[in-house]
Amino acid sequence: MFLEIVSPEKTLFTGDVTSVHVPGTEGSFQILNNHAPIVSTLKKGSIRLKGNFDSKSENLDIHNNGEASLDIQSGVIEMKKNKLIILVD
């Protein structure tokens, strides 16, 4: 699925990922490829991504096992037509 993470200052990440785990305000949850459409709010926590990341992903904390993370204060997500947009603070 295509993921775009945007803050008020800049775009933090764009690219293809295989899964995204987010800290929802009603509990954390995971979004996989071809997930049903959803809109949700996020609370302070860490967004965890799985995929292939390179040095262009400078805003992410990249781990050796094909995973990356990004700490957030709050946010909103929208998943539609296999595209996930995350607006974060």
pLDDT given for residue 56 in this prediction: 63
Question: With contact defined as beta carbons under 8 Å apart, do 87 and 75 qualify?
Answer: yes
pLDDT given for residue 60 in this prediction: 92
The one-digit pLDDT tens for each residue of the chain (89 residues) are 999 999 999 999 999 999 999 999 999 999 999 999 999 999 999 999 999 887 667 889 998 888 999 999 999 999 999 999 999 99
The domain in which residue 35 lies consists of: 2-88
pTM over 0.75: yes
CATH number, domain containing residue 66: 2.60.15.10
Domain count, the chain: 1
